[in-house]
């Protein structure tokens, strides 16, 4: 029986992926590395600890990795976070989930202060029972630490009694490592094929599409064990 749904946030509930990519790209440039936008964007969904080593050596990161991550974080809050918008009908989706009696948790690579802003943008502060952020995990996705922390926060929920909703293959990879199933959404910009290859059991366009097809989705408690809906065009 489905007891809890664990949501990623960036690219899943709020439209922030491009903004994070721009901030990282600008931070890389500041530290002497020009990286194409699409290369950076494809890594969004990981935390800085997993993203930076894709583009910088261990020696470089030992010298200025911490400084670069702080620069990126300050830049994002100063120049980009005000442009983030929630995807449509996130609150309505959460309300529908709560009517089923299903618990809701958030598990994000975002920092705690960013998470607070996102919850307010999506109008879900009062509907979330538990939340975990980058502050609660030693390693970010695709490591499972954040999802493990979410299950711990929920208490008596087993992996088989929960479903993750996320927009990146890193969500599905991380969840799969601790036997959590993942429902994918396309609004973060990753192709359906990548999400399915990473293990997503169903794909939807965005939260509003998931709400529209909720009763036949893995999120509906009566169908959580076998629903495998295809994405909308």
Q: What residues does each domain of the chain span?
A: 4-15+85-223, 17-83
- CATH class of the domain whose range is 17-83: mainly alpha
pLDDT in tens, 151-179: 999 998 999 999 999 999 999 999 999 99
Q: What percent of the chain has pLDDT over 90?
A: 89
Q: What is the pLDDT of residue 49?
A: 94
pLDDT grade, residue 147 (50/70/90)? Answer: very high
DSSP letter assigned to residue 151: H
Stretch 44-68: mean pLDDT, rounded? 97
Q: What is the mean pLDDT of the chain?
A: 94
Q: What is the pLDDT of residue 64?
A: 98
pLDDT > 50? residue 122? yes
pTM of the model: 0.93
* Per-position DSSP letters for 10-71, written without gaps between them: BTTTEE-HHHHHHHHHHHHHHTT----HHHHHTTBTB-HHHHHHHHS-HHHHHHHHHHHHHH
pLDDT grade, residue 221 (50/70/90)? Answer: confident
pLDDT > 60? residue 229? no
pLDDT grade, residue 224 (50/70/90)? Answer: very low
> Identical fold at 4-15+85-223 and 17-83?
no
Q: State the Cα angle at 187 between 177 and 8, rounded to 5°.
A: 40
Stretch 49-74: mean pLDDT, rounded? 97
Q: What is the pLDDT of residue 222?
A: 62
pLDDT > 80? residue 126? yes
Stretch 37-49: mean pLDDT, rounded? 96
Q: Which residue has better confidence, 112 or 117? A: 117
pLDDT in tens, 177-186: 999 999 999 9
- CATH class of the domain whose range is 4-15+85-223: alpha beta
Q: What percent of the chain has pLDDT over 70?
A: 95
Pseudo-torsion of CA 198, 117, 83, 77, nearest 10°? -90
Stretch 92-117: mean pLDDT, rounded? 94
Q: Which residue has better confidence, 225 or 72? A: 72
Q: Which long-range contacts (CB under 8 A, 24 or more apart) does 177-182 make?
A: 177/142, 177/143, 177/144, 178/144, 178/147, 178/148, 178/151, 180/6, 180/147, 180/151, 181/218
pLDDT grade, residue 133 (50/70/90)? Answer: confident
């Amino acid at each position: 029986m489905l007891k809890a749904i664990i949501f990623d946030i960036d690219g899943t509930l709020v439209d922030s992926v491009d903004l994070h990519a721009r901030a990282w790209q600008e931070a890389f440039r500041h530290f002497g590395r020009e990286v194409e936008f699409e290369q950076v964007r494809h890594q969004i969904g990981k935390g800085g600890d997993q993203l930076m080593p894709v583009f910088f050596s261990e020696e470089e990161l030992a010298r200025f990795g911490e400084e670069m991550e702080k620069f990126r974080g300050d830049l994002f809050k100063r120049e980009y976070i005000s442009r983030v918008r929630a995807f449509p009908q996130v609150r309505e989706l959460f309300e529908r989930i709560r009517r089923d009696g299903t618990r809701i948790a958030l598990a994000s690579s975002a920092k705690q202060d960013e998470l607070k802003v996102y919850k307010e943008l999506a109008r879900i502060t009062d509907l979330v029972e538990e939340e975990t952020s980058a502050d609660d995990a030693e390693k970010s996705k695709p490591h499972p630490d954040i999802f493990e922390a979410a299950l711990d926060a929920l208490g008596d929920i087993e992996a088989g009694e929960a479903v993750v909703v996320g927009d990146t293959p890193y969500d599905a990879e991380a969840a799969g490592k601790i036997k959590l199933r993942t429902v994918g959404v396309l609004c973060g910009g990753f192709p359906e094929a990548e999400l399915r290859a990473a293990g997503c059991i169903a794909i939807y366009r965005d939260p509003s599409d998931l709400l529209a097809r909720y009763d036949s989705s893995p999120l509906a408690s009566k169908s959580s064990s076998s629903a495998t809906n295809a994405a909308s065009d």
